[in-house]
Amino acid sequence: MQRLQKGKCGSNIMPKDNTGFFLKKSTWSIVKDQLLEGYLPQYFQKVLATHRPVFYVDCFAGKGKFEDGKDGSPRIALKVRDDCLRHTTFSDGKIDMCFIELNHAKELQQNISDYHQNGSPMVISGKYEEQIVGLLTSKKHYNVFLYIDPYGIKALDYRLFNKFSSFGFGSIEMLINVNTFGFFRDACRVLRVDKVQLDEAFSDLDDFIVEYAPTKVDDSEHSKTLLSEIAGGDYWVDIVREYQENRIDGYQAEMRFSTEYKQQLKRIFKYVLDIPIRIKPNQCPKYRMVHVSNHEDGCILMANNMAARKDELFIDIQNKGQLSFLIQTSENEIIGIEEIYCKVEAYLQNNKENIRLNALLASFFTDCGVICKSGDLIEILRMMERSGKIQVNRYPSTTEKTGKPSTFFSERNGKSVIIRWGSS
C-alpha cells in the first residue's frame, strides 16, 4: 500500500489505486453502512406517514456488492426499502430509489437486478455533481434523502447543499461522509505547510486512505477558492495558520474545522449532527459522518442511531469487548451522568422560554453533540421535574381512563410536553 510521501509542501502525495477497493469490505465501510442501515428503517417508517413519496439517492453508489459477498450501501438500502414496504400500513407508500455511480454503473446494475418487486431502482452513470440538481428538480413535494459518501472532498460543494434547501421538498435529509483529515491535508498543501505528515494526531491515517482521492490543489488562488467552496467559507485558513504556528495541535485543528463546518451547515439546516469515525482510541478521526435535517424527529432518531453505533464501535473495535460503566462519547471523552446533568441544566438556563420536548432534545444534540441517547436526557429531565428545577406541562394533562395527572415524557400520538426552566 502506498504511503504519504514527504516532499515539497506535501505535493508529492500520490493518489490511491482503488482498483482493489471492492475485493473486501473494509472496517471503515462497514461502520459507515451500519450507521445508514440502522437509520433507514426508522426514517422510511416516519416519512411514509406523511403520505408523500420518498426519493432516496445514493450519490456515490459503487458496485453495490463486494467480492467477499458483503453488501454495499445500494443493496442495504434496497433490502430496508422492501422490508419497510412489506410491513407498512400505508397503502400509498412509495419509495423511489436512485443510484449514481461514475465508474461501476454496469456492475452495480447487475448486482441490484434482483430488487424490482417495489419498482426497479434508477442507475445513473455519471458524476453526482453534474446529475443531482436535474434529478431533484423533478422531485418537489417528495421526502428526499441523500447518502453522500464520496472518495474525496471535491464533491462536497457547499453551494449545492445551499441550493437543495430551496427546492421545496416535503423534507430533505442528508448523511454525508466528510473526510476531515483529507481536507486538512489538502489545506496544508495549499498553504505550503507539511508538518501534518509528522504530527502524531494523524499517525497511521495514511494506511486507511484507500477510500480517499486527493484533490488536485496547489498554492494558487484557484485552489484556495476551491477549498472555500467545499468548506462554505475561508475559516479554514486561520485554522491551518494556527496549526502552522503551533498554537493548536492536529487534534485541535481537526476539531476546529469540523465545528466550523457544522456551523456553516447550520445556516442551511436547523439540525446538524456528526459522529467521528476512528478505529484506534485517541486517534484523530479519519472522517466524520454528518447528518442534516430540518425536522426534530429525524435529528432525534439519528442521534440515537449514532449513539448506538458509537457504543458498538468502541466496544467491538476499540475496546475489544471490554464494557465500561461510564459513558464514552464519540469524541473519546469519558463522561458521567452528573456531567450530562450539568450540561442539560446549563442548556435550559440559557434557554428559558417554553420549549417542546422534541425540540429541546434535537436542539441539545445539535448544540452539545451526541453525548448520550435521548432516553438518558429524558431521565435527567424527570429528575429535574421531581426536584422542581423545571416546569412540565403535558397535553392531555390527565389520563383518559383514570383522570389522574399525566406523567408521560414523549411526544407521539397527539401528546405534547412543554418544558420551562424554573419553579412555578
**pLDDT tens string 154-163:** 889 999 999 9
User: Between 69 and 270, whose confidence is greater?
Assistant: 270
CATH ID of 327-421, from 3.30.70.2860, 1.10.10.10, 3.10.50.40, 1.10.3720.10: 1.10.10.10
| For range 121-128, the mean pLDDT | 95
Asked if the model's pLDDT at residue 194 lies above 50, the reply is yes
Helices assigned H by DSSP within 209-336 = 221-231, 235-244, 250-265, 296-312
**Model pLDDT, residue 228:** 96
Among the listed residues 280, 370, 275, the one whose alpha carbon sits nearest the alpha carbon of residue 317: 280
Cis peptide before 396 (omega within 30 of 0): yes
- pLDDT, one tens digit per residue, over 196-211 is 666 766 666 554 444 4
Pairing of strands 334-335, 327-328: antiparallel
Q: Rounded CA gap, 58 and 375, in Å?
A: 31
Does 422 score more than 80 pLDDT?
Answer: yes
* 3-class DSSP state of 337: helix
**pLDDT band, very low/low/confident/very high, at 308 (cuts 50, 70, 90):** confident
Q: Give φ, ψ of 55 to 5 degrees.
A: -125, 110
Element at 292 (helix H, strand E): strand 287-293
| Coil vs helix vs strand at 321 | coil
Mean pLDDT lowest for which of 5-19, 90-104, 162-176, 316-330?
5-19
What is the distance between the alpha carbons of residues 261 and 75, in angstroms, rounded to a whole number?
30
* pLDDT tier at 5, thresholds 50, 70, 90: very low
Is the pLDDT confidence value at 233 over 80?
yes
What pLDDT shows up at residue 294? 96
Go through 39-70 and write b for each residue having 16 or more CB atoms within 10 A of its CB, e for each that does not. bbbbbbbebbeeebbbbbbbbbbbbbbbeeeb
- Do the beta carbons of residue 85 and residue 95 sit within 8 Å? yes
For residue 29, the model assigns a pLDDT of: 81
Mean pLDDT value across residues 150-176: 91
| Rounded Cα–Cα distance for residues 396 and 384 (Å) | 21
pLDDT at 104 over 60: yes
Other CB atoms within 10 A of residue 289 CB: 23
Mean pLDDT across 112-120: 88
In the predicted model, what is the mean pLDDT of residues 281-300? 88
pLDDT at 322: 42
Cα distance between residue 100 and residue 104, in whole Å = 10
Nearest-Å Rg of the Cα atoms of the chain is: 23
Distances in whole angstroms, Cα of residue 22 to Cα of each of 18, 27, 178, 309? 8, 13, 21, 23
Given this model, what pLDDT does residue 69 score?
A: 79
Return the pLDDT at 205: 58
Q: Is the pLDDT of residue 220 over 60?
A: yes
Residue at 55: amino acid letter = F
Of 29, 14, 96, 40, nearest in space to 62 by CA: 29
Q: What pLDDT is attached to residue 16?
A: 41
So where are the chain's domains? 8-318, 327-421
Dump pLDDT digits (tens) for 326-343: 344 555 556 678 889 999
Does 86 or 201 have the greater pLDDT score? 86
Q: Look at the domain 8-318 and name its fold.
A: Rossmann fold (3.40.50)
What are the backbone dihedrals phi and psi of residue 254, each rounded to the nearest 5 degrees, phi first?
A: -65, -40
What is the per-residue pLDDT across 56-68, written as a single tens digit (0 to 9) for each?
A: 999 999 999 988 8
Task: Compute how many other C-beta atoms are within 10 angstroms of the C-beta atom of residue 271.
Answer: 25
Write down the pLDDT at residue 400: 85
Per the model's pLDDT, the better-predicted residue between 268 and 165 turns out to be 268
C-alpha–C-alpha distance, residues 208 and 279, integer Å: 10
What pLDDT does residue 334 have?
Answer: 60
Q: Does the pLDDT value for residue 17 go beyond 50?
A: no
Q: Grid coordinates standing for 157?
A: 460543494
Question: Rounded distance, CA 289 to CA 422, Å?
Answer: 36
Q: Is 367 helix (H, G, I), strand (E, B) or coil?
A: helix
> What share of the chain has pLDDT > 70, as a percent?
82
* Cα–Cα distance for residue pair 28/182, rounded to 1 Å: 15
Residue 125: partners with Cβ closer than 8 Å, 6 or more residues away = 101, 102, 105, 106
**Better-predicted residue by pLDDT, 297 or 315:** 297
Note the pLDDT of residue 341. Answer: 93
**Mean residue pLDDT across the chain:** 84
Q: What is the pTM of this model?
A: 0.88
